[in-house]
Amino acid sequence: MLLIGAATPADLPLRDARWLTSPDLAADLTHQPAECRSPSHDAALRRSEEIGRIAFRAPLLLGGQAARAGLSCATCHRNGRTNAHFHFPGLSGDAGTADVTASLMSSHRGDGIFNPKPIPDLAGDPAKLKISRDPKRQDLEKFIHGLITQEFDGPEPPPAVLDAIAAYVRSMSPGACKGPADVPVVLGTMLDDVSEAVRLAEDSFAAGDKQTGRLLVGAARSMLGMIDERFQVPGEEGSRRLLREADSDLKAIELANTVSARSFDPWRSKWAERVRQFRSAEARSLFSESVVRRRLGER
Ligand code: HEC
């Protein structure tokens, strides 16, 4: 779909716009498929699923080209589902497909054969899925490990994070799809994800798992970056400054040699107030579908 005389997706500060070939870009940028999950009743497993949910959304989990471009698992599997209009040059054939063995993303597995496949819905019909979800078989762990380290050239993930992503994927099923098929992309959910990532990071550091703690802090920072994209509109310089300050507090934790509960004090003392500020600006930001449409020159 060509938008004649209007802003092009490239003019939009939203990263996702770069890999969407969409008949209605504004709708795609402000909506996503609903997440279909039933969290475990077991507290430890539920915590692991939450870590997986965060890591799934973090570009830093992947390496090389994918990480540089800002791709995460959730770029292709939006909310764990699919992405009907995903199109990444060199990686996709038709919209909604990707070749996860393409040499573009990997120095390991690139098979030199262009073979894009439809992006599967991870909460889809189990009969159509290729990889067994049986926790005893660990097929999912092996597959995800291969995806991260081979297809996407990522660093070796911390063991707790690999288990967590597999646990997160196992918590999805068609039976858990309730309510509408699509949900709006909202600031509130992203802010909750940031809070959750920092909380889980703090627990991980307290339990002596620095690697997982760091990855989660990094994930929280990349989510702040995604929120910042949405605030790149005239008049929201103040919100963006607050986002940068929040990011600096987290960066200090990420880079610290030793992290204790006190390391989180500067962050904790200001986060609630910052959240109030961000929320008050949401309607003027690129979270709003009408603001995106105006920016694209549609109305
Ligand atoms: C560039 C888009 C893309 C990214 C990024 C991506 N995937 Fe996928 N994923 C695919 C495609 C395409 C397939 C189907 C491959 C096939 O059919 O051979 C797939 C398949 C899968 C499957 C197997 C589904 C089945 O049939 O059982 C799982 C699980 C999965 N991905 C999880 C992940 C996780 C976890 C990440 C992040 C580490 C990730 N994906 C990142 C595109 C992507």
Query: What's the CA-to-centroid distance between 147 and ligand 1, angstroms?
Result: 8
- Give how many domains the chain has, as a whole number: 2
Q: Is the pLDDT of residue 274 over 90?
A: yes
Residue 64: left (phi > 0), alpha (psi -120 to 50), or beta?
left
Q: What does the pLDDT read at residue 24?
A: 96
Q: What is the pLDDT averaged over residues 176-194?
A: 96
Do 282 and 208 share a structural domain?
Answer: yes
Residue type (1 letter), 233: V
Cβ of 257: how many Cβ atoms within 10 Å? 5
Do 192 and 158 share a structural domain?
Answer: no
Residue 6 lies in a domain: no
Q: Which of 176, 201, 216 is the last residue of a domain?
A: 176
- Residue of 76, 114, 156 to mutate, ligand 1, most atoms within 8 A of C-beta: 76
Q: Is the pLDDT of residue 8 over 80?
A: no
Do 129 and 197 share a structural domain?
Answer: no
Residue 298 lies in a domain: no
Residue 257 lies in a domain: yes
Query: What's the CA-to-centroid distance between 259 and ligand 1, angstroms?
Result: 34
Residue type (1 letter), 265: D
Q: Is the pLDDT of residue 228 over 50?
A: yes
Query: What's the CA-to-centroid distance between 119 and ligand 1, angstroms?
Result: 7
Do 215 and 89 share a structural domain?
Answer: no
Do 19 and 150 share a structural domain?
Answer: yes
Minimal CA–CA distance to 155: which of 252, 59, 255, 222? 59
What distance in Å separates the CA atoms of residue 101 and residue 245, rounded to the nearest whole number?
39
Q: How sure is the predictor about 106, in pLDDT bands with cuts at 50, 70 and 90?
A: low
Q: What is the pLDDT of residues 250-262, one digit of tens each?
A: 999 999 999 999 9
Residue 281 lies in a domain: yes
Domain span at residue 195? 186-289
Do 47 and 126 share a structural domain?
Answer: yes
Do 227 and 129 share a structural domain?
Answer: no
Minimal CA–CA distance to 52: which of 159, 154, 149? 159
Residue 259 lies in a domain: yes
Query: What's the CA-to-centroid distance between 76 and ligand 1, angstroms?
Result: 8
Q: What does the pLDDT read at residue 2?
A: 46
Q: How sure is the predictor about 53, in pLDDT bands with cuts at 50, 70 and 90?
A: very high
Contact 242, 194 (CB under 8 A): no
Pocket of ligand 1 (CB under 6 A): 61, 71, 73, 75-77, 91, 98, 100, 117, 119-120, 122, 129-131, 143-144, 147-148, 165, 169
Do 194 and 116 share a structural domain?
Answer: no
Beta carbons within 8 Å of 248's beta carbon, 6+ residues apart? none
Q: What does the pLDDT read at residue 1?
A: 45
Do 200 and 155 share a structural domain?
Answer: no
Residue 166 lies in a domain: yes
Contact 5, 288 (CB under 8 A): no
Query: What value does the mean pLDDT of the chain take?
Result: 93
Contact 49, 187 (CB under 8 A): no
What distance in Å separates the CA atoms of residue 258 and residue 162, rounded to the nearest whole number?
24
What would you measure as the largest C-alpha separation in the chain, in angstroms?
Answer: 56
Residue 7 lies in a domain: no
Q: Which of 123, 147, 176 is the last residue of a domain?
A: 176
What distance in Å separates the CA atoms of residue 88 and residue 215, rounded to the nearest whole number?
26
Do 260 and 219 share a structural domain?
Answer: yes
Q: What is the pLDDT of residues 17-44, one digit of tens each?
A: 999 999 999 999 999 999 999 999 999 9
Q: What is the pLDDT averaged over residues 119-147?
A: 95
What distance in Å separates the CA atoms of residue 196 and residue 74, rounded to the nearest whole number?
17
Query: What's the CA-to-centroid distance between 120 and ligand 1, angstroms?
Result: 7
Residue 28 lies in a domain: yes
We report the CATH number of the domain holding residue 55 as: 1.10.760
Do 199 and 56 share a structural domain?
Answer: no
Do 95 and 50 share a structural domain?
Answer: yes
Structure tokens at 263: 């390391």
What distance in Å separates the CA atoms of residue 186 and residue 206, rounded to the nearest whole number?
31
What distance in Å separates the CA atoms of residue 197 and residue 190, rounded to the nearest whole number?
10
Q: Which of 156, 176, 196 is the last residue of a domain?
A: 176
